[in-house]
Amino acid sequence: MARKKEIQLQEELRNQEQWDDFLSKKGLGMIDVYQAWAGPCTAVNGMLRRIKNELGDDLLRFASAEADNIEALERYRGKCQPTFLFMAGGELVHVIRGANAPLINKAIPELLKAEHSVLEDGSERKVITDPIFDQEDKETEAEEEEEKEEEEEAGPQKEVTVAIIKPDAVQAGHVEDIIQRVKDAGFEILAQEERTLTEEEAREFYSHKADEEFFDELVAFMASGPSHVLVLSKGDEAGAEVIDEWRKIIGPFDSSVAKEEAPDSLRAQYGTDKSMNALHGSDSHEMATRELAFFFPNFQIPKAEAKPAQKRLQRTLALIRPDALKNHKDEILAKIQEAGFTVALQKEMQLTKDQATEFYKEHEGQDYFEQLIESMTCGPLLALGLAREDAVERWREMLGPKEVPAAQEEAPDSLRAQFAVEGVSVNPLHGSDSVENAEKEVQFFFPMQQTLAVVKPDAQEHKDAIIARIQEAGFNIAFQKETSLTEELAQQLYTEHEGKEFYGDLVEHMTSGPSLFMVLSVEDAVERFRSLMGPTDPEVAKEQCPDSLRAQFASDMLKNALHGSSNPDHAHEKIKAIFGDIEFNPDGTVKGMEPELDMATQPSAEGEEGEKEGEAEGGEQPAEEGEKKEEEEAKPEEEGEKPEAEAPATEEQKEEAPEGGDEPKPEEGGNEGAQEETSAEQESEAKDENEQKEAGENEGSEQAEGNEGEKESPEEGGTAEGEAAAEPAKEESGEEKPEGGEAEAETAPAEGGGEGEGEKAAEEEKPAEEAEQKEGEKAEEKPAEAPAE
């Protein structure tokens, strides 16, 4: 009686016809695939009977199938692990391996519900391929690819030609001389023999010349004595033009013509006429093959040395999701290194819901989508750019199946199986599924970025070595310019440090010689270059980052070899100040023509440094009040950015805090000396102010109109952005001053003195053009606008 119930529970499928009939019926079928010698898995029958009774659904059917006699199950033969295939509409919708009762108990109701939805509501059936076959197919493809590569490595055959030293040259004793000439020309003699042709052999060999009037004479000549036959090749590479080169060396067919047209050829030197021309050479690849078979029928042409196949170096994106990062970060990174991956890019970050939705937008609408987004945003994740040969395929192999239960059953050594977090249904790791998607995903987490890099005057002797290190680190030097900074441009570059005690020494150092300015493009360029530079203090750099550029090329905190932007906004602003308005292609290269440094348009918030340089010729013009306002406006703007950039400060960044991420803090007093020197210089130069005013009369009106508009720009910028940003900057450093602070106060007497003398001189002269002169004076007191270029 029990046997009867068991039969009713499971249909027995023993051939292809029964298999096809079972699949043709509506509903969900669970099939136990077994080997004839092992028999079906009876351990789950009790559970299946219970499920059948509880659900009472006619669409649910069970069967057992003998793989040995069913063609459709050919790939399942020889596999002794219990395998349960879930079929619907004649297609595979799920696979469970092993007698895993909890998985089966969970899967049946879910799959049955989905099939009802397909049949009743017209939903799309989710069809799969067996994951184990996907893996086998990949392995087969890899093996085929490997065989193909081995064939390519074996390389094609060398090109060969047949050369014959004819009876006349042999009889004259020229064989050794000709062979030496052959070797001197770089040919390799692969085979050689001396042979006397019969007339029949000669006719056969020259059958292609049977219609020539000299044919009989040629046959008689070739059979008149021994010939020396050579098989020649040249070089180890395939495709060497051996045939053409040999025919060029032997010269024209007629020796008399050869003596005139190619006197150095072998036929010119050893031949007599058309028939007795000393040498023969194959005239085509086909003829060379035929002649080789004629003289050396068993000769095997050697293989040419092929260049090693280029290894397919790839990169792929790996994501360690928040739960796994919290619990298994070090173990996962160790596995990655053991597998031979290079971590080329690395970033720990917290995704917003919008970012996660954008990244996984292709999965939107799936049942698991909300869980996936929640898992990706519940904490910080680690994004990695991994590089190695076949990185995409290798990383996905290491990950294993997407579903954690399947990974634990089918690939227990996979990363998703080993590092699954208990209670979390989403797998712990992400990997790109193709080379194309890998590039897109890497760009999503590591967008192309530019940063400003400066090789300072103290490191000019190491410039080439520094450039080499930068390029080795993967940076693209999109733009570069070597120039000696003027004081004004140096002040503009370091406007955020104005008022700090090391500011004067810093400006003096940066104007002491030429500097190399570079725009570097790469993913996450700012952070990566700062990491490559190392800490500001070379001594700290030598201890903490001995391979960094500052550890190797810097002298002290002032002469620390390099400058790098502290954040993307700072980089953009300074690149514009140094190089002008330039745009970049998606790959980081510069669009259009390279702008000249001295033609660059300066940002309005930074001040009109260009005309200052033009008027003062190298910086002799004293600093004016308008210029101070511009620098103060730029200062809070940049200092306002600094706290945001330094918020997650590392130990390395804390050491760089005095410079805001870039410059050192030398001994106290440096700024005071520089400012006193500036005051004295201003007092001296103020005496020439009247002359400068006269020189500017022709432009006075135009400048006044332009500068009245310019005067309002720094004030507006200061209220809109500078004041908002100045507050955190003041809190961070006691040395920072608000607008009109210490730095301006110290230089104010010099500015006031120069201004007073100029006005007094103007009043004494009182010319008829007084109004026009005053207009020019006002123009010079305001920040001058750079002339259009």
Catalytic residues: 280, 430, 563
Sheet hosting strand 279-281, strand order edge to edge: 188-195, 227-233, 161-165, 279-281
**Residue in 567, 674, 678, 677 with CA at minimum distance from that of residue 621:** 678
Instruction: Name, in order, each residue with C-beta under 8 angstroms of 17's C-beta and a sequence gap of 6 or more.
Output: none
Residue 414 · residue 400 · CB < 8 Å = yes
Query: Is 476 exposed, middle or buried, given 0-12, 13-18 or 19+ CB atoms closer than 10 A?
Result: middle
- SS3 assignment, position 720: helix
Residue 456 annotated in ligand binding = yes
Say if CB 94 and CB 128 are below 8 A apart: yes
Describe the crossing of helices 391-399 and 131-154 by its angle, rounded to 10 degrees: 150
- Under a CB-based contact definition with an 8 Å cutoff, are residues 57 and 65 in contact? no
Distances (CA, A) of 40 to 183, 320, 669, 784: 75, 41, 90, 93
Distance CA 202, CA 223 (A): 7
530 annotated ligand-binding residue: yes
Q: Which two tokens stand for residue 178?
A: 């000709």
Q: Can you name the residues that pair with 477 across neighbouring β-strands?
A: 520
Q: Which helix (H) or strand (E) holds 138?
A: helix 131-154
Q: Is 511 annotated as contributing to ligand binding?
A: no
536 belongs to an annotated ligand binding site: yes
**DSSP E strand stretches across 166-233:** 188-195, 227-233
Angle between helices 101-121 and 45-55 (to 10 degrees): 40
Angle between helices 723-732 and 625-645 (to 10 degrees): 70
86 annotated to bind ligand = no
Task: Identify the helix (H) or strand (E) that includes residue 104.
Answer: helix 101-121
DSSP 441-459: HHHHHS-EEEEEEEE-GGG
- Residue 375 to residues 212, 289, 351, 561, 721, Cα–Cα distance (Å): 87, 68, 10, 44, 37
- Asked if 289 and 299 count as a contact pair (C-beta separation under 8 A), the reply is no
Cα distances from 272 to residues 125, 483, 654, in angstroms, run: 87, 72, 91
Q: How far is CA 311 from CA 48, 395, 436, 672, in A?
A: 52, 16, 18, 60
Copy the structure tokens of residue 122. Answer: 């017209």
Q: Write out the binding residues.
A: 456, 502, 530, 536, 550, 560
Q: Write out the binding residues for ATP.
A: 456, 502, 530, 536, 550, 560
